[in-house]
Structure 1
Amino acid sequence: MSGPVTKIGSPGSRPPYPAPLAILADMKDEVIATVRSSVPPGENWPDLRKTWGFRRDPLTPLLDCYERYGPVFSIRVLFGANVFMIGPEANHFMLVSGRENFSWRKGRMGDLIPLLGDGLLTTDGQFHDTSRALIMPAFHRERVVAAAEVMAAEAAGAADAIDAAEPLDVYHWTRDLAMRIAMQALFGFDPDSNRAEEMAATFERGLGFYGREYPMQL
């Protein structure tokens, strides 16, 4: 029987960072991609008006293109053509049956590397699969039951703390609850300890850096 895994290899090179280098890399990749094959149908002509509309309301043009072009289409936002895949069949192909054709690391998830490091959301291939296998024990039935108990207890405590006579910021309340559950259920920290509060504050600051408007992240 083999021993515990002590080395899982290299996650691969990191994408260009900061943004100016990423923009140049994106433009180069698009040129190479269009030489090898065509971009999926969609709104592919540069159009500042459409870009501004996408900035204000991204869902409407996405649904419109889905109706007109099908589950795979492209929209040019500012300098780059972005390919979207919407619907159950497209999602299954991207995440399961054809996942070897896609890269989290070279896509926009790569922007999260400064915040998350080389984690499951920012790696691909064998490194990703091995890392995923290492954490699977955390999702065994007994652990899931224990996590559910933590969720129920934290949710009940958060609900009891609501003052019906005062306005409630539901967004802040929900984020705080989710952070407390993650701290305790996933990492084993006491959410009321100074260490946990420090980590939560640091994570929130880092997450805030990525709180840019969705189209600007493309």
Structure 2
Amino acid sequence: MEETGEKPFSVTLREGSWSDHSDSEGATFMEDIMRGIGSRQDYIDLVAQHYFMYEALEEAAMQLAADPATAAFHPAGIVRMPALEADLAALIGADWRERIAPVPATADYAARIREIAAEGWIAGIVAHHYTRYLGDLSGGQMIAKRVARQHGLSAEGIAFYDFAGLGAPTDFKNAYRAALDAFGATLDESERQRMLDEVRTAYGFNTAVFVDLGKAKAAKAAAA
């Protein structure tokens, strides 16, 4: 099905979820990190949550990589788990696996991704893939520079945000959006709306994770 005179699907997704994206960025915990006033522990806690999110997402993304119709979404250079493991080892130590845990919202987020993967709902997997990877590829670059400067981190501590394996970020993002447009053209209106709703759900999970991190931080401070 070819779109004629219609808004590109990538634009529909971006505009349809813009308010949710803004809410995510505005969560106080994340806002502090982006402003350079979060603590080193705040950053470590964020990296730990990324680990649990991407563990579920990259398991699900194998379904995209296995199909020529969706493989463009998930090239080898986009994989984040080895970088997250290296970052956690650098930030926490060799026993990092025993010292991290998901906050409730992260556990729910990962469960939702796994539910979609088990269902085999490809548009849903793409919705979460798009929300996470393009967000971390874009806004993440500023976060990486800021926390590296603020906390004196080495390349390993911010390896998660190093997408050099994808080539020029702008070129990749343009190719990704073109793939979204092509994918959207294969969906009927109902499925397009369902996918947009799932993108908004993904942003909601992101915001809930930041809120839970803020609550955990406040609880630690109160107990100290």
Q: Which range, TM-score by smaller chain?
A: under 0.3
Return the TM-score normalized by structure 1.
Answer: 0.28
By percentage of residues, which structure has more helix?
A: 2
Q: Which has the higher strand share?
A: 1
TM-score, normalised with respect to structure 2: 0.27
Per chain length, whose mean CA-contact separation is higher, i.e. which structure has more relative contact order (CA < 8 Å, sep 6+)? Answer: 2
Q: Based on CA coordinates, which of the two structures has the bigger radius of gyration?
A: 1
